Amino acid sequence: MTAFPPANLPAARTETVRLPALAGPLRSWLLDEPSDAVAEKVIAESEVLRSQATMMMPALRQEALRPASHDDIVRIIKSREQTFGDLRTARTEVEWAAFYADYFEALDGLTASSIEAGMVAYIALPDSQWAPKPGKLAHMARNSNACGRFTRAYNRARAAVEKARALSAPPPVVEVDKPDPEVVKAQLAETLEKLTAQDRLKQAAQKARLKPTPSAPLPAGSHMSVAMRAKLVAEGVIRPLADHDNDYHQDHGAAA
């Protein structure tokens, strides 16, 4: 009789051995971080992580949708053996092959993530026993609403990349309705008419300012009015007229 090999707990979890290309901090943020929002924010703000996530997205999607292999199924079942205590059974290789053959058939086509989710749901049942029947495990896997780790990792990577693109994208161009050409033409004509009228008013005001102010009639024989002469005399620009000059201008003006 051949005993069932002991479960290797650190490597027993299916996800720890899947997609080894996903490594380093990116693997931790995609697979181990409890919060989707935190993981997406950190990846979106890091150029290195964002670049790695972009390159890993096709592999993540393929891994999330890949049907579980026989090795995946064996690892998932073995990983939960310790949960129920030391229940390993001594079987021959042929007996173990027959034991897993039923699981391979019942779980055919299901992804490793869905089988893992089904196993989690089965263990949560109050009457769960080791080992879950193949049909029971398949039913739980198909009806579980839990999101597989690699499905969640793909969703996180995609959300982070899209968030970064949205932040770096230029603002959208808002299209404005084009006005009616006839309306624009009429508005331009009205504006030109108003401007022309304003120019005419300005020109008229300028001409009015340049028109000489009419002055009082000059005394006969004099080149300036009496008021202007008095002003210039008061300012000391010219000398006052002698008395005979005043008499001359007055008499001459009277004669005129």
Q: State mean pLDDT over 14-39.
A: 82
Q: State mean pLDDT over 152-175.
A: 84
The pLDDT value given to residue 244: 53
DSSP of 62-104: HHHHSBPPHHHHHHHHHHTGGGG-S---B--HHHHHHHHHHHH
Query: Residue 54: pLDDT above 60?
Result: yes
pLDDT digits (tens, 9 = 90+) for 224-256: 677 777 887 887 777 777 665 554 455 444 444
Q: Please give the Cα distance from 150 to 145 (Å, whole number).
A: 14
The pLDDT value given to residue 117: 86
Percent of the chain with pLDDT over 90: 25
The pLDDT value given to residue 93: 84
Q: What's the pTM?
A: 0.49
> Where exactly are the structural domains of the chain?
9-168, 226-255
- Among residues 153, 82, 80, 85, the alpha carbon closest in space to that of 113 is found at 153
Query: Residue 120: pLDDT above 90?
Result: no
- Range from 2-11, 45-54, 170-179 carrying the lowest mean pLDDT: 2-11
Q: State mean pLDDT over 50-69.
A: 90
Cβ within 8 Å of residue 135, ≥6 positions away? 106
